[in-house]
Amino acid sequence: MGGARYARNATLTAVVARTGEPVASRVQAARGPIGRLRGLLGRDGLPLGSALLIDPCNGVHTAGMRFAIDLLFLDRAGRVVRMAHEVPPWRFIPFVRRASRVLELPAGTLVASEVEVGDVVAIDAVGTRS
């Protein structure tokens, strides 16, 4: 059982439907079970405007990470069911009911984007939104 399928090397964006504003203009999808487990481990940071999509996923850990991140827990329709701000390294976010995927973002992104629980975040390949 897997999450949504995105073309390998596709450039993805994450846009808040309510505002039309991007949460991230460069979204990388974690590939396979190992990619989902590894997540952002081994990186020194996450550039502003970028994100990692983990799909399927409904719980996150930051064990071994070197920097804080923001998290958006999305249901199958892309609706935000939970947000976590500036989660530091070595934290565990238990399973979030109704979440089916997680968007990991640079710390501070959620405050700047004004995204709210209940908003729909569309994740699409660049050029596919109408």
Is pLDDT at 130 greater than 60 in this prediction?
no
- Tokens found for residue 10: 């596709």
If you count them, how many residues does the chain have?
130
pLDDT tens digits along 50-77 = 999 999 999 988 888 899 999 999 999 9
Cα angle for residues 18, 30, 16 (degrees, 5° grid): 5
Domain that holds residue 30: 12-125
Q: Confirm whether 5 is domain-assigned.
A: no
Are the C-beta atoms of 102 and 74 separated by less than 8 Å? yes
Q: Confirm whether 1 is domain-assigned.
A: no
Are the C-beta atoms of 98 and 81 separated by less than 8 Å? yes
Q: Confirm whether 83 is domain-assigned.
A: yes
Q: What percent of the chain has pLDDT above 70?
A: 80
Whole-number pLDDT of residue 126 = 76
Q: Confirm whether 118 is domain-assigned.
A: yes
Report the mean per-residue pLDDT for the chain. 86
Global pTM value: 0.86
Q: Confirm whether 2 is domain-assigned.
A: no
C-alpha–C-alpha distance, residues 59 and 66, integer Å = 19
pLDDT band per the 50, 70, 90 thresholds, residue 37 = low
CATH of the domain at 85: 2.60.120.1140
Q: Confirm whether 7 is domain-assigned.
A: no
How many domains would you assign to the chain? 1
Q: How many other C-beta atoms can be found within 10 angstroms of the C-beta atom of residue 20?
A: 9
Q: Confirm whether 4 is domain-assigned.
A: no
Q: Confirm whether 46 is domain-assigned.
A: yes
